[in-house]
Amino acid sequence: MNVPDDLKYTRDHEWARVQGARVTVGITDFAQDQLGDVVYVELPEVGDVVKKGEAFGVVESTKAVSDLFAPVSGKVVEVNGPLVDAPETVNEDPYEEGWMIVVESTDAKDLAELLDAGAYKKFVEEEQE
């Protein structure tokens, strides 16, 4: 299970790359592996407002449908458009090419509540048991 140290995580298996107020969001390696082959991704539009903990999109594998939950609140400033036509990118490269949206975070408190890599790894291990 690949859990990069420089990212933050949610208990819903999203990752967040925090660069100032800009937060790039995707799903973790563990999440893509659990889902299996991703065949469809539904993302918001630039300008949409997302709320921490609420669904901002959907990712579907051949069998399962999963909501995507926003790790932070804010405005969507970028969307990974090519993902819609190449959803398999989520499986192939979940932390780089498979990113989903960039949110301009409006509340610094949100960031403090995210898990670091160690805490996320522990959370996944506990969830597995």
Binding flag, residue 61, another protein (CB under 8 A)? yes
Q: Which stretch binds another protein (CB under 8 A): 11-19, 32-40, 98-106, 107-115?
A: 32-40
Token output for 46: 């630039």
Binding flag, residue 2, another protein (CB under 8 A)? no
Binding flag, residue 40, another protein (CB under 8 A)? yes
Task: Find the DSSP H helices in 1-129.
Answer: 29-35, 82-85, 89-92, 108-112, 117-128
Give the nearest distance from C-beta 59 to another protein in angstroms.
11
Give the nearest distance from C-beta 116 to another protein in angstroms.
28
Give dist(CA 127, CA 113) in Å, integer: 19
Residues 6+ apart with CB under 8 A from 44: 50, 56, 57, 76, 79, 101
List contacts with another protein (CB under 8 A): 36-37, 39-40, 42, 58, 60-63, 65, 84, 88, 91
